[in-house]
Amino acid sequence: MLIAGNWKMYKGPAETAEFCLGLREEELDGVDVVVCPPFVSLAVAVQLLAGTEIAVAAQNVHWEDEGPYTGEISAPMLRELGVYGAIVGHSERRQHFGETDETVAMRANAALEAGLFVIACIGETEEERERGETEAVLRRQVSVLEPDDNVVIAYEPVWAIGTGKTATPETAQEAHAFVKTLLEAPVLYGGSVKPDNAAELLAQPDVDGALVGGASLDLDSFTSICRAAAPIPS
Ligand code: PGA
Protein backbone atom coordinates (compact mmCIF):
# COMPACT_ATOMS: atom_id res chain seq x y z
CA MET A 1 0.00 0.00 0.00
CA LEU A 2 1.16 3.47 -0.87
CA ILE A 3 -0.28 6.67 0.54
CA ALA A 4 0.82 9.87 -1.17
CA GLY A 5 -0.07 13.36 0.01
CA ASN A 6 -0.49 15.88 -2.79
CA TRP A 7 -0.17 19.24 -1.09
CA LYS A 8 -1.00 21.24 -4.23
CA MET A 9 -0.22 24.97 -3.72
CA TYR A 10 -0.20 24.75 0.07
CA LYS A 11 2.63 24.88 2.65
CA GLY A 12 5.70 27.02 2.09
CA PRO A 13 9.02 25.96 3.67
CA ALA A 14 8.07 26.96 7.24
CA GLU A 15 4.81 24.99 7.31
CA THR A 16 6.52 22.12 5.51
CA ALA A 17 9.20 21.97 8.20
CA GLU A 18 6.59 21.89 10.91
CA PHE A 19 4.65 19.09 9.19
CA CYS A 20 7.74 16.98 8.46
CA LEU A 21 9.07 17.29 12.01
CA GLY A 22 5.72 15.94 13.20
CA LEU A 23 5.60 13.21 10.56
CA ARG A 24 9.06 11.96 11.58
CA GLU A 25 7.70 11.15 15.03
CA GLU A 26 4.85 8.96 13.77
CA GLU A 27 5.00 5.17 13.65
CA LEU A 28 3.91 4.32 10.12
CA ASP A 29 4.98 0.72 9.66
CA GLY A 30 3.64 -1.44 6.85
CA VAL A 31 2.76 1.38 4.46
CA ASP A 32 4.79 3.35 1.90
CA VAL A 33 4.34 7.05 2.55
CA VAL A 34 5.10 9.86 0.10
CA VAL A 35 4.68 13.62 0.50
CA CYS A 36 4.49 15.95 -2.50
CA PRO A 37 5.11 19.55 -1.40
CA PRO A 38 5.32 22.55 -3.76
CA PHE A 39 8.72 23.01 -5.46
CA VAL A 40 9.97 25.67 -3.02
CA SER A 41 9.37 23.34 -0.08
CA LEU A 42 11.00 20.21 -1.51
CA ALA A 43 14.48 20.93 -0.12
CA VAL A 44 13.32 21.30 3.47
CA ALA A 45 11.13 18.18 3.19
CA VAL A 46 14.05 16.15 1.82
CA GLN A 47 16.31 17.42 4.59
CA LEU A 48 13.88 16.77 7.43
CA LEU A 49 12.72 13.35 6.21
CA ALA A 50 16.26 12.08 5.49
CA GLY A 51 16.88 8.82 7.30
CA THR A 52 13.17 7.95 7.40
CA GLU A 53 11.25 5.66 5.05
CA ILE A 54 9.11 8.57 3.88
CA ALA A 55 9.77 9.65 0.29
CA VAL A 56 9.49 13.15 -1.13
CA ALA A 57 8.10 13.69 -4.64
CA ALA A 58 7.39 16.77 -6.76
CA GLN A 59 3.99 17.68 -8.20
CA ASN A 60 5.25 18.03 -11.77
CA VAL A 61 8.44 17.72 -13.82
CA HIS A 62 9.56 18.97 -17.24
CA TRP A 63 10.59 16.69 -20.12
CA GLU A 64 13.90 18.40 -20.95
CA ASP A 65 16.95 18.27 -18.69
CA GLU A 66 17.50 22.00 -19.12
CA GLY A 67 16.63 24.75 -21.57
CA PRO A 68 14.61 27.89 -22.21
CA TYR A 69 11.46 26.79 -20.34
CA THR A 70 10.66 29.61 -17.94
CA GLY A 71 9.00 28.42 -14.78
CA GLU A 72 9.72 24.71 -15.28
CA ILE A 73 11.83 22.26 -13.25
CA SER A 74 13.67 19.26 -14.70
CA ALA A 75 14.06 15.70 -13.47
CA PRO A 76 17.86 15.95 -12.96
CA MET A 77 17.29 19.08 -10.87
CA LEU A 78 14.85 17.16 -8.68
CA ARG A 79 17.31 14.28 -8.39
CA GLU A 80 20.07 16.68 -7.36
CA LEU A 81 17.82 17.86 -4.54
CA GLY A 82 17.25 14.30 -3.29
CA VAL A 83 13.67 14.05 -4.54
CA TYR A 84 12.54 10.50 -5.39
CA GLY A 85 9.55 10.93 -7.66
CA ALA A 86 7.05 13.18 -9.38
CA ILE A 87 3.35 13.38 -10.00
CA VAL A 88 2.48 13.91 -13.68
CA GLY A 89 -0.80 14.65 -15.40
CA HIS A 90 -2.81 15.79 -12.41
CA SER A 91 -6.26 16.87 -13.58
CA GLU A 92 -5.63 20.41 -12.30
CA ARG A 93 -2.65 20.60 -14.68
CA ARG A 94 -4.74 19.21 -17.52
CA GLN A 95 -7.58 21.62 -16.72
CA HIS A 96 -5.73 24.87 -15.98
CA PHE A 97 -2.31 24.55 -17.61
CA GLY A 98 -2.96 22.93 -20.97
CA GLU A 99 -1.46 19.57 -20.05
CA THR A 100 -2.26 16.94 -22.68
CA ASP A 101 -1.77 13.17 -22.87
CA GLU A 102 1.32 13.88 -25.00
CA THR A 103 2.96 16.27 -22.55
CA VAL A 104 2.08 13.92 -19.69
CA ALA A 105 3.85 11.09 -21.52
CA MET A 106 6.92 13.27 -22.17
CA ARG A 107 7.09 14.29 -18.53
CA ALA A 108 6.67 10.71 -17.33
CA ASN A 109 9.37 9.38 -19.66
CA ALA A 110 11.89 12.06 -18.68
CA ALA A 111 11.26 11.43 -15.00
CA LEU A 112 11.70 7.66 -15.38
CA GLU A 113 14.86 8.12 -17.41
CA ALA A 114 16.33 10.26 -14.65
CA GLY A 115 15.52 7.59 -12.07
CA LEU A 116 12.45 9.16 -10.48
CA PHE A 117 9.31 7.18 -9.76
CA VAL A 118 6.17 8.53 -11.39
CA ILE A 119 2.62 8.88 -10.12
CA ALA A 120 0.65 9.32 -13.34
CA CYS A 121 -2.85 10.71 -12.81
CA ILE A 122 -5.82 9.76 -14.94
CA GLY A 123 -9.56 10.14 -14.53
CA GLU A 124 -12.79 11.12 -16.24
CA THR A 125 -14.85 14.28 -15.75
CA GLU A 126 -18.45 14.16 -14.59
CA GLU A 127 -19.72 14.81 -18.15
CA GLU A 128 -17.55 12.03 -19.53
CA ARG A 129 -18.90 9.59 -16.94
CA GLU A 130 -22.50 10.65 -17.66
CA ARG A 131 -21.94 10.14 -21.38
CA GLY A 132 -20.64 6.61 -20.69
CA GLU A 133 -17.12 7.52 -21.81
CA THR A 134 -15.22 6.60 -18.66
CA GLU A 135 -13.46 3.56 -20.09
CA ALA A 136 -12.63 5.31 -23.37
CA VAL A 137 -11.09 8.25 -21.49
CA LEU A 138 -9.06 6.00 -19.19
CA ARG A 139 -7.90 3.94 -22.17
CA ARG A 140 -6.77 7.08 -24.00
CA GLN A 141 -4.96 8.49 -20.96
CA VAL A 142 -3.20 5.22 -20.15
CA SER A 143 -2.29 4.46 -23.78
CA VAL A 144 0.53 7.04 -23.79
CA LEU A 145 2.25 5.59 -20.72
CA GLU A 146 5.03 3.02 -21.02
CA PRO A 147 4.98 0.04 -18.66
CA ASP A 148 7.73 0.53 -16.10
CA ASP A 149 8.38 -0.78 -12.60
CA ASN A 150 8.60 2.81 -11.39
CA VAL A 151 5.18 3.87 -12.64
CA VAL A 152 2.19 4.07 -10.34
CA ILE A 153 -1.19 5.15 -11.70
CA ALA A 154 -3.53 7.36 -9.70
CA TYR A 155 -7.17 7.00 -10.72
CA GLU A 156 -8.74 10.31 -9.77
CA PRO A 157 -12.24 10.88 -11.10
CA VAL A 158 -12.28 14.65 -11.68
CA TRP A 159 -15.77 14.95 -10.16
CA ALA A 160 -14.43 13.58 -6.87
CA ILE A 161 -11.41 15.88 -6.50
CA GLY A 162 -11.83 18.46 -3.77
CA THR A 163 -15.61 18.07 -3.90
CA GLY A 164 -16.23 15.75 -0.96
CA LYS A 165 -17.95 13.48 -3.53
CA THR A 166 -15.90 10.32 -3.16
CA ALA A 167 -16.34 7.47 -5.62
CA THR A 168 -18.04 4.54 -3.94
CA PRO A 169 -15.66 1.66 -3.23
CA GLU A 170 -17.47 -0.30 -5.98
CA THR A 171 -17.03 2.48 -8.56
CA ALA A 172 -13.36 2.82 -7.67
CA GLN A 173 -12.82 -0.95 -7.79
CA GLU A 174 -14.46 -1.18 -11.21
CA ALA A 175 -12.25 1.57 -12.65
CA HIS A 176 -9.10 0.17 -11.05
CA ALA A 177 -9.74 -3.32 -12.38
CA PHE A 178 -10.26 -1.83 -15.84
CA VAL A 179 -7.04 0.22 -15.65
CA LYS A 180 -5.11 -2.92 -14.73
CA THR A 181 -6.27 -4.59 -17.93
CA LEU A 182 -4.53 -1.73 -19.78
CA LEU A 183 -1.25 -1.47 -17.90
CA GLU A 184 0.43 -3.55 -15.25
CA ALA A 185 0.95 -1.08 -12.41
CA PRO A 186 -0.28 -0.38 -8.90
CA VAL A 187 -3.33 1.89 -8.98
CA LEU A 188 -3.97 4.50 -6.28
CA TYR A 189 -7.40 6.02 -5.77
CA GLY A 190 -7.67 9.80 -5.43
CA GLY A 191 -10.62 12.13 -4.91
CA SER A 192 -11.90 13.23 -1.49
CA VAL A 193 -10.12 10.47 0.43
CA LYS A 194 -10.62 11.20 4.13
CA PRO A 195 -9.87 9.35 7.37
CA ASP A 196 -13.48 8.12 7.54
CA ASN A 197 -13.69 6.67 4.02
CA ALA A 198 -10.09 5.49 3.50
CA ALA A 199 -10.45 2.01 4.99
CA GLU A 200 -13.36 0.91 2.79
CA LEU A 201 -11.72 2.26 -0.38
CA LEU A 202 -8.39 0.65 0.47
CA ALA A 203 -10.13 -2.66 1.20
CA GLN A 204 -11.01 -3.08 -2.49
CA PRO A 205 -8.83 -5.71 -4.14
CA ASP A 206 -7.50 -3.46 -6.90
CA VAL A 207 -7.03 -0.31 -4.82
CA ASP A 208 -3.32 -0.27 -4.03
CA GLY A 209 -3.21 2.97 -2.09
CA ALA A 210 -4.38 6.55 -2.24
CA LEU A 211 -3.39 9.96 -3.56
CA VAL A 212 -4.73 12.35 -0.96
CA GLY A 213 -5.18 16.09 -1.49
CA GLY A 214 -7.02 18.15 1.12
CA ALA A 215 -6.85 15.54 3.87
CA SER A 216 -3.06 15.25 3.50
CA LEU A 217 -2.50 18.81 4.74
CA ASP A 218 -3.33 18.04 8.34
CA LEU A 219 -0.89 15.73 10.12
CA ASP A 220 -3.51 13.85 12.13
CA SER A 221 -5.80 13.25 9.21
CA PHE A 222 -2.91 12.22 6.91
CA THR A 223 -1.45 9.79 9.43
CA SER A 224 -4.83 8.26 10.16
CA ILE A 225 -5.24 7.57 6.41
CA CYS A 226 -1.72 6.05 6.40
CA ARG A 227 -2.71 3.82 9.32
CA ALA A 228 -5.88 2.71 7.52
CA ALA A 229 -3.55 1.37 4.81
CA ALA A 230 -1.27 -0.53 7.16
CA PRO A 231 -1.95 -4.19 7.86
CA ILE A 232 -3.59 -4.79 11.21
CA PRO A 233 -0.90 -6.14 13.57
CA SER A 234 -1.72 -9.70 14.62
P1 PGA B 1 -8.65 15.75 -2.77
O2 PGA B 1 -7.56 15.85 -3.95
O3 PGA B 1 -8.22 14.62 -1.88
O4 PGA B 1 -8.58 17.09 -2.08
O5 PGA B 1 -9.96 15.49 -3.41
C6 PGA B 1 -7.01 14.70 -4.51
C7 PGA B 1 -6.00 15.10 -5.57
O8 PGA B 1 -6.26 16.08 -6.29
O9 PGA B 1 -4.94 14.46 -5.73
pLDDT digits (tens, 9 = 90+) for 33-69: 999 999 999 999 999 999 999 999 999 999 999 999 9
Atom number in ligand 1 closest to CA 92 = 8
Q: In a mutational test of the pocket of ligand 1, which residue from 36, 158, 161 has the highest number of ligand atoms less than 8 Å from its CB?
A: 161
Distances (CA, A) of 171 to 50, 131, 206, 207: 37, 16, 11, 11
The response to whether residue 212 sits with its C-beta less than 6 Å from ligand 1 reads: yes
Distance CA 208, CA 185 (A): 9
Average pLDDT rounded to a whole number, residues 80-106: 97
Residue 96: is its pLDDT beyond 60?
Answer: yes
The confidence score (pLDDT) of residue 234 equals 57
The response to whether residue 89 sits with its C-beta less than 6 Å from ligand 1 reads: no
Distance CA 231, CA 234 (A): 9
The response to whether residue 34 sits with its C-beta less than 6 Å from ligand 1 reads: no
The confidence score (pLDDT) of residue 165 equals 87
Average pLDDT rounded to a whole number, residues 20-27: 96
For atom 9 of ligand 1, the residue with the nearest CA is 213
The response to whether residue 156 sits with its C-beta less than 6 Å from ligand 1 reads: yes
Q: The CATH number of the domain where 34 resides is what?
A: 3.20.20.70
The response to whether residue 37 sits with its C-beta less than 6 Å from ligand 1 reads: no
Q: Is residue 128 part of a domain?
A: yes
Percent of the chain with pLDDT over 70: 99
Give catalytic status of residue 25 as yes or no: no
The confidence score (pLDDT) of residue 233 equals 62
Percent of the chain with pLDDT over 90: 95
Using an 8 Å Cβ cutoff, are 4 and 36 in contact?
yes
Distance from residue 73's CA to the centre of ligand 1 (Å): 22
What region, left, alpha or beta, does residue 58 occupy, with left being phi > 0 and alpha being psi -120 to 50 degrees?
beta
pTM of the model: 0.97
Q: Indicate the number of domains in the chain.
A: 1
Indicate which residue of 99, 124, 156, 176 is catalytic.
Answer: 156
Confidence grade of residue 5 (pLDDT, cut at 50, 70, 90): very high
For atom 2 of ligand 1, the residue with the nearest CA is 213
The response to whether residue 161 sits with its C-beta less than 6 Å from ligand 1 reads: yes
pLDDT digits (tens, 9 = 90+) for 174-220: 999 999 999 999 999 999 999 999 999 999 999 999 999 999 999 99
Atom number in ligand 1 closest to CA 193 = 3
The confidence score (pLDDT) of residue 232 equals 72
Give catalytic status of residue 176 as yes or no: no
Q: Is residue 234 part of a domain?
A: no
Confidence grade of residue 164 (pLDDT, cut at 50, 70, 90): confident
Q: Is residue 56 part of a domain?
A: yes
The response to whether residue 187 sits with its C-beta less than 6 Å from ligand 1 reads: no
Average pLDDT over the chain, rounded to an integer: 96
Average pLDDT rounded to a whole number, residues 111-125: 98
Domain with 36 in it: 2-229
Indicate which residue of 62, 90, 92, 99 is catalytic.
Answer: 90
Average pLDDT rounded to a whole number, residues 148-176: 94
End-to-end CA distance of the chain: 18
DSSP 8-state assignment for residue 28? -
